Amino acid sequence: MINHGTRSGYYAHRRLGQTPCDDCRAAINEYVREYREKNGLARNRAGEKVRRKAMAALRDRYREEYEELVEEFRAEESNLI
């Protein structure tokens, strides 16, 4: 007995050596999509935090260059160069 349209249905098909039906494939695709979305977001958030820290450290370490670059880009933005 396969419970079609569910994740366990998908695995049941596979266990029986069958190609999963469309409903079961749709269920597993949805599950994988949600999983990636959730875990991808968590990973991104952690990565963002680390990058922000690194940027702040760089800014402190190269304060003068940073200020120069800010001035340079600001000038570019206002088309002064």
**Amino acid identity, position 75:** A
Report in angstroms how near the CB of residue 69 gets to Zn ion at its nearest: 58
> Does the footprint of Zn ion cover residue 24 (CB under 5 A)?
yes
Residue 18: DSSP 8-state: P
> How many residues contact Zn ion, by CB under 5 A?
4
Q: Of 11, 21, 26, 59, which one interacts with Zn ion (CB under 5 A)?
A: 21
Using the rule CB under 5 A, give the single segment among 24-32, 36-44, 49-57, 71-79 that binds Zn ion: 24-32
Report in angstroms how near the CB of residue 53 gets to Zn ion at its nearest: 47
Cβ contacts of residue 68 below 8 Å, gap of 6+? none
Q: Supply φ then ψ for residue 48, to 5 degrees.
A: -60, -45
Q: Of 4, 6, 26, 59, which one interacts with Zn ion (CB under 5 A)?
A: 4
d(CA 24, CA 28): 6
d(CA 35, CA 40): 8
Residues that bind Zn ion (CB under 5 A): 4, 9, 21, 24
